[in-house]
């Protein structure tokens, strides 16, 4: 079967509802259960705590509104990678895909799968090896302990293999599972909100004061630091663009899914934080290690931990599924351009999925689980991810100049102010990360440019094939 024939077998099977579920499922993972305490500790004022979640949500919405226009013009599998290829050229596109593969998305899959496995361990005792074996580390490669917490690691790998298998058998099957888990996820988080405000015996005094100055740092600095955590919790909203080649009526449905999905996430995040505040005063939230668990334990003493563990398992499994389903399309698009391993452009003749891209992604994410370094490596490339977010927003200006006569079923509202606002914030986030984490940012930059030799290798092969 030729590559051209394989390319033609990709099918547009995702409905608007499924696309919205992908957006919600890709974003809401473990962040809403873990980051509110960091925000509370930083800003110290209840009103500002809620305000930061609203502000960050609106900034995320600005990014979604902007990217929606680009996605409506270039509704192809691979999303952001294809956007960059069209607007900035092959090198920028390749470096985006390279970063995505090396750790940005595969590391996210590994990290969220491990979170799922740890909460699974609340209900089932996961095995451990002897202390001597767990202390063994790989020689010559740094502090890598592949046998440490082996039960958690194996359960995380099992989760990754499971979602890969689900998505191997068709994007409809994968989206069905995604719809189920996203629905369960929203219901689970919704139950926290409803129970808190109905039977939680909370106190509205916890919402005050609405304004003030944090004692530890200035207001602007506190909001800026808190936004780093909340921006991370909103990350993943653009994953739908990777599936652009499989969404029905993409010019209409991708913008709608990005907008409605992002709005739903903002509402869910803000209401959840209000529920936390209603039950717990901000000082208690700030000193909590697991604010969602503490909230549920306050309402249901004795079994709140079990309830929240089940909720986190549902949420994280759904996010692993969404991230695995969407990200494989980036590597598929790179391989079609002959800028990645050739077999990753293969489309299964029956299931019409990028099956080999899915399997390769699965294998690499599992390896990252075994190394135990995904969290550390991930911090290195956070700033690079936001460089690409800024470039993605800039693409709307380039396309309007390059393709002024292209029909646009959707245009970003508030142009050019909304795209410019998002670019400014993304640039600030990159700069702030470099200033606050210079060593990690340097390593991240080195990881990014390490892709250049690989790009030159594949470019050379393309030139050689044309000459032949």
Highest-scoring range by mean pLDDT, 171-180, 373-382, 392-401: 392-401
Please indicate whether residue 98 or residue 433 has the higher confidence score (pLDDT): 98
Question: Which pLDDT value is given to residue 374?
Answer: 64
Asked whether the CA dihedral 175, 176, 177, 181 is positive or negative, the reply is positive
Question: Which pLDDT value is given to residue 293?
Answer: 85
Residues 6 or more apart whose CB falls under 8 angstroms from that of 62 comprise: 418, 419, 421, 422, 425
Q: Which CATH number among 3.40.50.300, 1.20.1740.10, 1.10.760.10, 3.50.50.60 corresponds to the domain 3-467?
A: 1.20.1740.10
Spell out the alpha helix ranges (H) of 205-303. 219-233, 250-279, 282-286, 291-299
Residue 246 DSSP symbol: G
3-state helix, strand, coil in the chain (%, to 5): 75, 0, 25
CA distance 251 to 256: 9
**pLDDT, mean of residues 361-379:** 82
Question: Which pLDDT value is given to residue 221?
Answer: 81
For 165-181, how does the pLDDT look when each residue is reduced to its tens digit (9 = 90+)?
Answer: 999 998 888 889 999 99
CA distance 63 to 146: 38
CA distance 70 to 138: 45
453-462 residues labelled b (16+ CB within 10 A) or e (exposed): eebeebeeee
Highest-scoring range by mean pLDDT, 122-126, 171-175, 362-366: 362-366
For 27-48, how does the pLDDT look when each residue is reduced to its tens digit (9 = 90+)?
Answer: 998 888 888 999 999 999 999 9
**pLDDT, mean of residues 287-295:** 86
The pTM of the full predicted model, rounded to 2 decimals, is 0.88
CA distance 257 to 240: 8
pLDDT at 9 over 80: no
Query: Where exactly are the structural domains of the chain?
Result: 3-467
Residues 6 or more apart whose CB falls under 8 angstroms from that of 410 comprise: 68, 69, 72, 251, 252, 255
Question: Which pLDDT value is given to residue 235?
Answer: 87
CA distance 229 to 38: 7
Please state which of the ranges 200-204, 205-209, 437-441 shows the lowest mean pLDDT.
Answer: 437-441
Residues 6 or more apart whose CB falls under 8 angstroms from that of 262 comprise: 23, 57, 60, 61, 64, 237
């Amino acid at each position: 079967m030729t590559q051209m024939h394989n390319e033609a077998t990709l099918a547009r099977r995702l409905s608007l509802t499924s696309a919205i579920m992908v957006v919600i499922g890709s974003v809401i993972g473990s962040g809403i259960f873990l980051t509110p305490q960091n925000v509370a500790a930083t800003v110290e004022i209840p009103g500002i705590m809620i305000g930061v979640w609203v502000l960050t949500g609106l900034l995320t919405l600005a990014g979604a509104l902007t990217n929606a226009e680009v996605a409506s013009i270039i509704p192809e599998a691979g999303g952001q990678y294809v956007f960059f290829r069209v607007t900035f050229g092959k090198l920028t596109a390749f470096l985006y895909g390279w970063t995505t593969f090396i750790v940005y998305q595969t590391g996210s899959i590994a990290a969220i799968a491990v979170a799922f496995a740890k909460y699974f361990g609340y209900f089932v005792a996961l095995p451990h090896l002897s202390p001597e074996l767990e202390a063994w580390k790989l020689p010559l490669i740094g502090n890598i302990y592949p046998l440490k917490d082996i039960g958690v690691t194996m359960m995380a790998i099992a989760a990754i293999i499971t979602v890969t298998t689900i998505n191997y058998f068709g994007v409809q099957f994968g989206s069905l599972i995604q719809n189920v888990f996203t629905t369960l996820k929203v219901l689970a988080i919704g139950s926290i909100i409803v129970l808190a405000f109905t039977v939680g015996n909370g106190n509205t005094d916890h919402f005050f004061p609405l304004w003030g100055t944090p004692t530890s740092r200035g207001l602007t600095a506190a909001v800026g630091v808190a936004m780093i955590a909340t921006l991370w919790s909103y990350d993943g909203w653009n994953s739908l663009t990777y599936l652009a080649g499989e969404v029905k009526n993409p010019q209409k449905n991708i913008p709608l899914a990005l907008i409605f999905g992002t709005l739903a996430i903002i509402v869910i995040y803000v209401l959840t934080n209000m529920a936390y505040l209603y039950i717990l005063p901000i000082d208690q939230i700030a000193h909590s290690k697991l604010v969602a668990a503490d909230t549920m334990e306050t309402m249901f003493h004795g079994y709140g931990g079990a309830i929240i563990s089940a909720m986190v398992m549902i949420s994280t499994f759904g996010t692993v599924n969404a991230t695995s389903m969407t990200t494989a399309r980036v590597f598929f698009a790179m391989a079609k351009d002959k800028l990645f391993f050739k077999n990753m452009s293969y489309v299964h003749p029956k299931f019409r999925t990028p099956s080999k891209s899915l399997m390769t992604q699965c294998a690499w994410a599992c390896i990252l689980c075994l190394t135990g370094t995904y969290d550390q490596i991930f911090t290195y490339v956070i700033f690079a991810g936001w460089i690409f977010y800024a470039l993605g927003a800039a693409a709307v200006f380039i396309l309007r100049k390059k393709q002024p006569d292209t029909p646009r079923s959707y245009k970003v509202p508030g142009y050019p102010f909304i795209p410019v606002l998002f670019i400014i914030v993304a640039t600030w986030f990159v700069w702030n990360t470099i200033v606050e984490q210079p060593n990690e940012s340097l390593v991240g930059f080195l990881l990014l440019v390490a892709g250049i030799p690989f790009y030159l290798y594949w470019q050379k092969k393309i030139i050689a094939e044309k000459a032949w």
